[in-house]
Chain A
Amino acid sequence: MSPRASSFTTPHGLAVSDLTVSYNRIPALHHIAFEVACGQCIGLLGPNGAGKSTLLKALAGLLPHETGRISFHGHEVRGSTRDFAYLPQREAIDWDFPTTVHGLVEMGRYLRVGWWRSYGREDEQAVDEAIAAMHLQPLAHRQISALSGGQQQRAFLARALAQQAHVFLLDEPFTGLDKPTQDNLRQLLRELRDQGKLIIASHHDLPSVSHLFDQAILLNGELIAAGAVGEVFTDANLRKTYDTPTFAGPASHGHHHHHAHD
Chain B
Amino acid sequence: MDWLTEPFQHEFMRRVFVGGALIGFTNGFLGAFVVLRRMALMADSLSHSLLPGLAVGWILAGGLVPSALFGGALFAALAVALGAQLLARNSRLKEDTALGILYTVAFSVGIVLIGLFKVRVSLMHWLFGNILGLSDTDLWMIWGISLVVVPLLAALQRPLLLTLFDPTVAASQGIRVNLLNSVLMIALVLTMIASLQAIGVIMLLGLLIAPAATVYLLCDSYPAMLWGGGVIGMTGSCAGLLISYRLDLPSGACIVLVLGLIFFAAYLFSPRYGLFRKLRRARHFHEESLARWPAAAPGDGGEKAP
Give chain B residues whose Cβ lies under 8 Å from the Cβ of A86: 169, 172
Give chain B residues whose Cβ lies under 8 Å from the Cβ of A97: 36, 164-165
Interface string of A87-130 (1 = CB under 8 A from B): 01000111001111001000100110101100000000000000
Q: How far is the CA of A79 from the CA of B171 in the complex (A)?
A: 9
Chain-A contact segment, one of B125-133, B155-163, B234-242, B293-301:
B155-163
Q: Which of A94, A113, A163 has the most CB of B within 10 A?
A: A94
Q: How far is the CA of A16 from the CA of B259 in the complex (A)?
A: 55
Say yes or no: is B288 at the interface (Cβ < 8 Å to chain A).
Answer: no
Q: Give the shortest distance, in Å, between B81 (CB) and chain A (any CB).
A: 23
Say yes or no: is B166 at the interface (Cβ < 8 Å to chain A).
Answer: yes
Say yes or no: is A7 at the interface (Cβ < 8 Å to chain B).
Answer: no
Give chain B residues whose Cβ lies under 8 Å from the Cβ of A184: none
Q: Which residue of B lies closest to A113 (CB)?
A: B158
Q: How far is the CA of A88 from the CA of B164 in the complex (A)?
A: 15
Chain-A contact segment, one of B49-57, B105-113, B219-227:
B219-227
Q: How far is the CA of A43 from the CA of B24 in the complex (A)?
A: 53
Give chain A residues whose Cβ lies under 8 Å from the Cβ of B169: 60, 62, 86, 88
Tell me how many residue pairs across A and B have CB atoms closer than 8 Å: 65
Say yes or no: is B58 at the interface (Cβ < 8 Å to chain A).
Answer: no
Interface string of B191-233 (1 = CB under 8 A from A): 0000000000000000000000000100111101100000000
Interface string of A48-87 (1 = CB under 8 A from B): 0000000000001110000000000000000111101010
**Known: A98-B216, A115-B158. Is A92-B166 also a contact (CB below 8 A)?**
yes
Q: Which residue of A lies closest to B215 (CB)?
A: A98
Assess whether B158 is in contact with A110, with CB atoms less than 8 Å apart: yes
Q: Give the shortest distance, in Å, between A208 (CB) and chain B (any CB).
A: 25
Q: Give the shortest distance, in Å, between A184 (CB) and chain B (any CB).
A: 14
Say yes or no: is B168 at the interface (Cβ < 8 Å to chain A).
Answer: yes
Q: Give the shortest distance, in Å, between B35 (CB) and chain A (any CB).
A: 9
Give chain A residues whose Cβ lies under 8 Å from the Cβ of B172: 60-62, 80, 84, 86
Q: How far is the CA of A115 from the CA of B156 in the complex (A)?
A: 7
Assess whether B165 is in contact with A107, with CB atoms less than 8 Å apart: yes
**Known: A62-B171, A80-B172. Is A88-B166 also a contact (CB below 8 A)?**
yes
The SS class assigned to the B binding surface is helix
Give chain A residues whose Cβ lies under 8 Å from the Cβ of B166: 88, 92-94
Assess whether A116 is in contact with B155, with CB atoms less than 8 Å apart: yes
Say yes or no: is B9 at the interface (Cβ < 8 Å to chain A).
Answer: no
Say yes or no: is B62 at the interface (Cβ < 8 Å to chain A).
Answer: no
Assess whether A99 is in contact with B220, with CB atoms less than 8 Å apart: yes
The SS class assigned to the A binding surface is loop
Say yes or no: is A22 at the interface (Cβ < 8 Å to chain B).
Answer: no
Residue among A82, A100, A113, A116 making CB contact with B173, cutoff 8 Å? A82
Say yes or no: is B174 at the interface (Cβ < 8 Å to chain A).
Answer: yes
Say yes or no: is A164 at the interface (Cβ < 8 Å to chain B).
Answer: no
Q: Which residue of A lies closest to B35 (CB)?
A: A98
Assess whether A98 is in contact with B158, with CB atoms less than 8 Å apart: no
Q: Give the shortest distance, in Å, between B33 (CB) and chain A (any CB).
A: 12
Give chain A residues whose Cβ lies under 8 Å from the Cβ of B162: 107, 110-111
Give chain B residues whose Cβ lies under 8 Å from the Cβ of A98: 36, 216, 219-222, 224-225
Assess whether A80 is in contact with B165, with CB atoms less than 8 Å apart: no
Assess whether A80 is in contact with B174, with CB atoms less than 8 Å apart: yes
Residue among A82, A99, A103, A115 making CB contact with B155, cutoff 8 Å? A115
Say yes or no: is A181 at the interface (Cβ < 8 Å to chain B).
Answer: no
Q: Give the shortest distance, in Å, between A242 (CB) and chain B (any CB).
A: 29
Say yes or no: is A182 at the interface (Cβ < 8 Å to chain B).
Answer: no
Q: Give the shortest distance, in Å, between B167 (CB) and chain A (any CB).
A: 10
Residue among A79, A92, A93, A143 making CB contact with B174, cutoff 8 Å? A79
Give chain A residues whose Cβ lies under 8 Å from the Cβ of B155: 115-116
Give chain B residues whose Cβ lies under 8 Å from the Cβ of A163: 173
Q: Give the shortest distance, in Å, between B200 (CB) and chain A (any CB).
A: 30
Q: Give the shortest distance, in Å, between A2 (CB) and chain B (any CB).
A: 27
Assess whether A143 is in contact with B173, with CB atoms less than 8 Å apart: no
Give chain B residues whose Cβ lies under 8 Å from the Cβ of A111: 162, 173-174
What residues make up the interface of A, taking CB atoms closer than 8 Å to B? 60-62, 79-82, 84, 86, 88, 92-94, 97-100, 103, 107, 110-111, 113, 115-116, 143, 163
Given contacts A62-B168, A111-B173, A115-B159, 5 further A-B contacts (CB under 8 A): A80-B171, A86-B172, A98-B222, A99-B222, A103-B221
What residues make up the interface of B, taking CB atoms closer than 8 Å to A? 36, 155-156, 158-159, 161-162, 164-166, 168-169, 171-174, 216, 219-222, 224-225
Question: Can you show 13 pairs from A to B with CB atoms below 8 A apart?
Answer: A61-B172, A81-B173, A81-B174, A82-B173, A84-B172, A86-B169, A88-B169, A92-B168, A98-B221, A99-B165, A107-B161, A115-B156, A163-B173
Q: Which 3 A-B pairs have the closest CB atoms?
A: A80-B174, A143-B220, A61-B172
